[in-house]
Structure 1
Amino acid sequence: MSSAVRTYRYLRLAMVVLVVMLLASVVRERLASGTGCFEASVSAYVHTPAQGVFVASLVALGVCMIVIKGSSDAEDVVLNVGGCLAVVVGLVPTPDPATCTATPIPMQLVPEQVANNVGAALVAGAVGLAVTVAVALRQGDLRRADLMTRRNLAGIAVSTVLLVVGLVWFVARRDGFVAHAHAVAAIGLFACIVGVVGLNARDCHRRGAPARRYLVILVLMVVLGGALLASQWFGVALWLLLAEATAIGLFAVFWLLQTDELWHVGTRAVGSDA
């Protein structure tokens, strides 16, 4: 068995473990708070003693999503975008304060936290993008006039646009960034996760059981998306928490299923239908 196959396996399982850690931290905070209630959303736990695990989990999940190579070019781009957004979700706290904890984290620290953490992430993103371009040039990936070149350029272009838009918003409209970046990134991350599951669920009639299992997860995630919208429309806070927690759980189930499907091969051929 090659080291590449083991690496793919461990990356997928790492994301499952990170999800377990995040949910365990939320449950532990609920039991330890003594308030008898849950926060309105999983994101609100960033303002509680669960902050460290929340930030670490989201940033690590984002890095894993960026590092792992998708089984198709489209999946790889969506994973990269989702990974970048996961980092933003972790580093930019929700503006909604914690209401069910005995030891809330002071909200007045948020602007300085965002200034430091997001600033550092943007620098890291720029360096990572520059290294990606340099490696592609060195290997000649951007010089060949073929389909792979266009796909590489498309991936680099999407990453560049995301970085530039984030930088401009962060620098020019800092207050708006602090207030809204978490929600925008969270919605985008959910869309990317649904997109990745959808790409894996394609051609279920031809690919059989694995794709059908992904299709079930896709349907459940779409239903949860509706529940998330309904929770905001009708103001039912518990719906939001339950829908978020279930979506996070389905995210872990997806990676478990893909780990099982690709246990011996690591990934499907790039450019395949899935």
Structure 2
Amino acid sequence: MRGPEGVCEMTTDSTAAGARQLLRRTDLYLRLGMVLLVLLLAAAITLEWFRYGSLLDSVSAYYYTPAHAVFIACLCSLGACLIIYPGRTGFEDVTLNAAGFLAFLVAFVPTSRGEAECDPRRAFCDIPSSTIAANVAAVLIIGGVGLLVAYLAPILRAGHGALPHAGDRHARIALHVLAVGYVVLVAGFLAERATFLRTGHGLSALVLFAGLIIVVVNSGLHLGHQGGRRVWYWAILAVVMLAMAIVWIAGKRGAMEHWIFVEESVVILGFTFFWITQRVAEVWAEPEADAEPTDRVLT
């Protein structure tokens, strides 16, 4: 009698352990994939730098260069990964979703070219606004579908699969804020198309970077008794914020060229470093202690 039960228990434990290992591998590969996308974008920018001997004023300015396709592909892929990746809390999950959505807008709405003359040998000089508007319309439609699913899933009692942390009050508040922001975006796009296309990139990038910083802060706030790891996250955030402040001051005083490029690079590199070390610090160092939270978050 005990034999079959023992075999059944062993099989169940083995299956559960295999499922946990699969989730960890998927998590690791998704993180590594995002890092590779950042490296791909960096490689394309570096090649343009070597080819022409100078940097552009911002990372976003490479939209107009031969790195155009890589810039858009990387941002869209990163946006999809941020949306797919489940947050450790409901609030973080919604924040990652918002950041991922904004990454698509940053990709499709180009930054202002400014008053500099366009060199046809180095840049695309004519990108029709109708093409940009069509891409933005597609993103807004899918964003609306995503919001609808997020609101309907708990009502249809499917929230645990489609919207984790559906009972989290902070997640609901964040979702409502996201919905209001989406309505404002759609209204601006429909009412003031030219203004939207002129300012949409900068505003989307600003909120996107703010969202990434919020994710780091949220991770530091939800480590409980794990003080060492909490300090680690605060240290990353402090270094990034200090570097941003120094670069901003230097740029405004005219002491640094391409300071916007450097500012964007600091945020991207800081979040990438956090993204790599977060999993190492919280899971791979102590796999047994993290097994239960991992299952809860990634389901």
Q: TM-score range by the shorter chain?
A: 0.7 to 0.9
Q: What does residue 36 of structure 1 align with?
A: 53
For residue 74 of structure 2, the aligned residue among 40, 43, 57 is 57
- Over residues 127-146 of structure 1, what are the superposed CA-to-partner deviations in whole Å (9 max), with x where a residue is unaligned? 2222333433222649xxx9
Alpha-carbon distance between aligned partners in 2 of 1:267 and 1:67, rounded to the nearest angstrom: 20
- Over residues 53-102 of structure 1, what are the superposed CA-to-partner deviations in whole Å (9 max), with x where a residue is unaligned? 11111111111111111111221122122112211111111013587883
Matches within 5 A, 1:222-261: 222-227=241-246, 229-230=248-249, 233-235=252-254, 236-260=256-280, 261=282
Q: Which amino acid aligns with 2:226?
A: R
Alpha-carbon distance between aligned partners in 2 of 1:128 and 1:147, rounded to the nearest angstrom: 15
Matches within 5 A, 1:161-172: 161-172=180-191
Q: What does residue 113 of structure 1 align with?
A: 131
Give TM-score scaled by structure 2 length. 0.78
Deviates more, 1:81-90 or 1:239-248: 239-248
Q: Which amino acid aligns with 1:30?
A: W
The Cα shift of 1:268 comes to 4.0
Matches within 5 A, 1:9-20: 9-20=28-39
Which structure has more relative contact order (CA 8 Å, sep 6+)? It is 1
Go from structure 1 to structure 2 and tell me whether the alpha carbon gap of 1:152 and 1:205 turns closer, same or farther (over 3 Å shift).
closer
Q: What does residue 122 of structure 1 align with?
A: 140
Q: Which amino acid aligns with 1:43?
A: S
Unpaired segments ≥5 residues, structure 1: none
Q: When the two structures are aligned, how many residues end up with a matched partner?
A: 266
Matches within 5 A, 1:62-211: 62-96=79-113, 102-106=121-125, 108-139=126-157, 141=159, 148=167, 150-151=169-170, 153-202=172-221, 206-211=225-230
The sequence identity of aligned pairs, in percent, is: 32
- Over residues 211-252 of structure 1, what are the superposed CA-to-partner deviations in whole Å (9 max), with x where a residue is unaligned? 222222101221233245336533543222222223211221
The Cα shift of 1:162 comes to 2.5
Alpha-carbon distance between aligned partners in 2 of 1:267 and 1:222, rounded to the nearest angstrom: 33
The Cα shift of 1:25 comes to 0.9
Go from structure 1 to structure 2 and tell me whether the alpha carbon gap of 1:174 and 1:180 turns closer, same or farther (over 3 Å shift).
same
Counterpart contact for 2:247–2:259, Cα < 8 Å: yes
Tell me the C-alpha RMSD between the 2 structures: 3.0
Counterpart contact for 1:66–1:80, Cα < 8 Å: yes
Q: Which amino acid aligns with 1:124?
A: I
Go from structure 1 to structure 2 and tell me whether the alpha carbon gap of 1:267 and 1:214 turns closer, same or farther (over 3 Å shift).
farther
Unpaired segments ≥5 residues, structure 2: 1-17
Go from structure 1 to structure 2 and tell me whether the alpha carbon gap of 1:25 and 1:79 turns closer, same or farther (over 3 Å shift).
same
Which has more radius of gyration? 2
Counterpart contact for 1:91–1:117, Cα < 8 Å: yes
Go from structure 1 to structure 2 and tell me whether the alpha carbon gap of 1:128 and 1:77 turns closer, same or farther (over 3 Å shift).
closer
